[in-house]
Structure 1
Amino acid sequence: MTNIKVIIPAFNEADSIAHVINEIPKEVSEIIVVNNNSTDETVLNAEKSGATVLTEPKMGYGYACLTGLEYVSKQSENPDIIVFIDGDYSDYPEELTKLVQPILDKKVDFVIGSRVKELREEGSMTPQQIFGNWLATSLMKVLFGATFTDLGPFRAIQYDKLLSLQMEDTTYGWTVEMQLKALKQKLAYTEVPVRYKKRIGISKVSGTVKGSIFAGIKILSWIFKYSIK
């Protein structure tokens, strides 16, 4: 049986985290929620829903993901696939099954859940998110010949391939770093169209001017860093 583990970074997602956990397919071997300084009942609700809950006090999406991976690395058995999904219930967790299928079919190493327009609830992505995705993926196409259309956080990757990427970003650049390093290492990748809906609560990144600006700067800095290597 394929060993699939899910990592969910979470900061103040008390109203949504149980929905995410409860709708993840049962064939997943472990759901790991990384609490990133939540001040609400995120931890309590995640534990009640049966997830493993870790704590990462340093604020940052990447910090939370790295903490989840450190925990996995210390287990006696390595997983086959790691899936990342946000804790805000904007993705449809049950679509994990189709997200991992290309990996199970031995066709690719890495899959992005692409939030295509026709499957996206109106208003689920802010204008700055849509523009930022377009700009980042367009630059990756021009500079690296990539075929990515999204930086979607709902993604699956073979565990050994993920380790080979030596991920390091601690904040907003986590997703684009993974995609750039996958290109550099010539991993086989694809995108799977996924549905996307309005999140529960306010986004900590795209929902604020500061968050949007810092995310944009971080994403572009990763792209240009790799373009001159």
Structure 2
Amino acid sequence: MTWIRVIIPAFNEEGSIARVIYDIPSHISEVIVVDNQSKDKTAQEAITAGATLLYEPKMGYGYACLRGLSYLKELEEPTDILVFLDGDYSDYPEEMDKIISPIIENNIDLVIGARVKSKREPGSMTFPQIFGNWLATRLMRLFFNSKFTDLGPFRAIKYTKLLALNMQDKTYGWTVEMQLKALKQNLTYTEVGIHYRNRIGESKVSGTVKGAVMAGVKILGWIFKYTFK
């Protein structure tokens, strides 16, 4: 049996979190929602939908992901593959098998769900997101000969490989840190084109000028840190 678990960081996602959970393939071993100080009914909706609920009082996407990892380390059952997914329903959870498949069938270490233009709903990505992804992936290509085209949060990775990356980022840089460390450690990786739609609710990052700027600074910071390390 392959144990596959999903971590969903969530902040004020009461209108979407249950839909995300219900659309996850039924063979997934466990769905873990990490409530990152939500002020609405995110926690109740997640529990009702059947997810394991964790709380992370420190605000930040990375903090929530790290809380999920600390939970996995306490389990007696193993975790073979770990999937990360946002709680805003912008991704299509039912496409999860497409992302997991290269790991199971081809022994790939890391798979990124790439939000390709042909599969994106109009308006689903803001200009700062599109430009930020373009710039970050171009820099990774320039400095590390990377073939990444996206920093999409919908991704799957072998659990043991993720632990070896020793993830540190607490906020906006989680995704790019993972990809940079994967490149540094010569992990095998690929991308799978996925559909992407307008999220339910307001974005906490790209929906604000401050969030977009802070995310951009953090992403570029990680890239230059690893370039000149």
Q: TM-score, normalised by structure 1?
A: 0.99
Aligned AA for 1:35?
D
Aligned AA for 2:162?
L
**Mind listing any 5+ residue stretches in structure 2 that lack a counterpart?**
none
Distance 1:177 1:21 in 2: 26
Deviations 1:101-155 (A, max 9, x none): 0000133100000000000000000001000000000000000000000000000
Tell whether 2:76 aligns with 1:76: yes
Residue in structure 1 matched with residue 145 of structure 2 by the alignment? 145
Residue in structure 1 matched with residue 105 of structure 2 by the alignment? 105
Tell whether 2:203 aligns with 1:195: no
Residue in structure 1 matched with residue 41 of structure 2 by the alignment? 41
Aligned AA for 2:138?
S
Distance 1:166 1:157 in 2: 13
Distance 2:107 2:33 in 1: 29
Distance 2:111 2:54 in 1: 25
Deviation at 1:225, TM superposition (A): 0.1
Q: What is the correspondence of 1:46-61 to structure 2 with a 5 Å cutoff? A: 46-61=46-61
Aligned AA for 1:28?
I
Deviation at 1:78, TM superposition (A): 1.8
Distance 1:188 1:97 in 2: 18
Residue in structure 1 matched with residue 183 of structure 2 by the alignment? 183
Residue in structure 1 matched with residue 67 of structure 2 by the alignment? 67
Q: What is the correspondence of 1:10-29 to structure 2 with a 5 Å cutoff? A: 10-29=10-29
Q: CA RMSD in A?
A: 0.5
Distance 1:212 1:170 in 2: 16
Deviations 1:30-52 (A, max 9, x none): 00000000000000000000000
Distance 2:52 2:64 in 1: 14
For this pair of structures, how many residues does the alignment match? 229
**Mind listing any 5+ residue stretches in structure 1 that lack a counterpart?**
none
Residue in structure 2 matched with residue 209 of structure 1 by the alignment? 209
Q: TM-score, normalised by structure 2?
A: 0.99
Aligned AA for 2:13?
E
Distance 1:98 1:150 in 2: 16
